Structure 1
């Protein structure tokens, strides 16, 4: 069973990570979907996306929930029936969910060299100065995850990664950072936590999760 890891961040927050190794058929046989999500699954054109979707339901089971406990708001944000907060992400080989008693955002990304080609579009590139290329890739991937995680918490139309979400300087060895969202004449602060996950396929993934401070 490829439950990769459970991170107990604190007494009220857990992160569940699944390594997606099963076939679509095996995953489908192991979960029960509500009617809306069954239709949603069948409209997905990519089997990788379908497997990611189903593996998230496996993680829900690990956390003591089912697909029937999960619903989505009009803005697409996921919610649990018991009013716990949930955030969801998947990327290629891994999926993850965060469940907490306070708003949480999570992102998992495969670290790829192409992130450097677009780094100037979403981050302060001075934060990459003095790093090797591999370190730049890793750090830019963390920053992307920071912006995704913060956005998932707020989920407001019009928020721009480069214009409204700002990461403070941090080191990869810190495994934590802070960020601010400056939007609609408000400045909000966030605590960020991150770690790298080895897929054993010479590919590294970055997990980032955020809480509003």
Structure 2
């Protein structure tokens, strides 16, 4: 299948979604992998995790528009990066979709999640009391997913481990719509960064994305 959705964020930043309908073999054949990546692929179990790994990398190839080998590594904090291409990248996946965000100028973060009722049960683990206070009961589930995706996107953009969603990432009040943005702040020790996070509801998924 082709790219399902693509959005230009600014002159040098965009993200796209890939609906994973292919078999693992079909996706694998679209990639060029080195020996280490081939070994890693063999270790993955046949199932969604493997399809997600393949899907994000096929989508990355499509967005970069290259048939050449893409050297995509992961740093000590788990953040993916390109060794020899001038792009910042962020990868995400959920159920039937893979998502990739790329930028030539700044770090980026993206998160996609299928909207499910279960988020309500864990809300107090990633939300502060003052954040829970601005959630509109009419849009509770969707708005909670915006909050989760926003914090996950910021975490990926920042690219450092040991960041608490509840303690270190603070969201400003916002009204939920089908798409929009919200202001957020990451504060930990000497680090104090303000972000404007965009979000988009796509089918029964929520997407949060941010540029550093």
When residues 38 and 127 of structure 1 are mapped into structure 2, their CA distance, relative to the original with a 3 A threshold, is farther
TM-score, with structure 1 as normaliser: 0.90
Pairing 1:39-54 to 2, within 5 Å after superposition: 39-54=39-54
* Number of aligned residues: 204
Contact map agreement 1:57 1:67 (CA 8 A) in 2: no
> What is the rounded CA distance, in whole Å, between the counterparts of 2:9 and 2:140 in structure 1?
27
Task: Name the stretch that deviates more: 64-73 or 153-162.
Answer: 64-73
When residues 84 and 120 of structure 1 are mapped into structure 2, their CA distance, relative to the original with a 3 A threshold, is same
Equivalent residue for 1:131? 137
Query: Which ranges of 4 or more aligned residues in structure 1 deviate by more than 3 Å?
Result: none
Q: How far is 1:119 from its partner? A: 0.5
Equivalent residue for 1:201? none
Equivalent residue for 1:56? 56
1:82 paired with 2:85, answer yes
Match of 1:116 among 100, 114, 120: 120
When residues 137 and 39 of structure 1 are mapped into structure 2, their CA distance, relative to the original with a 3 A threshold, is same
TM-score, with structure 2 as normaliser: 0.90
Q: How far is 1:43 from its partner? A: 1.5
**Structure 1 spans left out of the alignment, 5+ residues:** 199-203
Q: Deviations over 1:75-109 (max 9, x none)?
A: 22111222310000011110111001211111000
> What is the rounded CA distance, in whole Å, between the counterparts of 2:210 and 2:89 in structure 1?
12
When residues 79 and 24 of structure 1 are mapped into structure 2, their CA distance, relative to the original with a 3 A threshold, is same
Pairing 1:170-181 to 2, within 5 Å after superposition: 170-173=174-177, 175-181=180-186
1:193 paired with 2:195, answer no
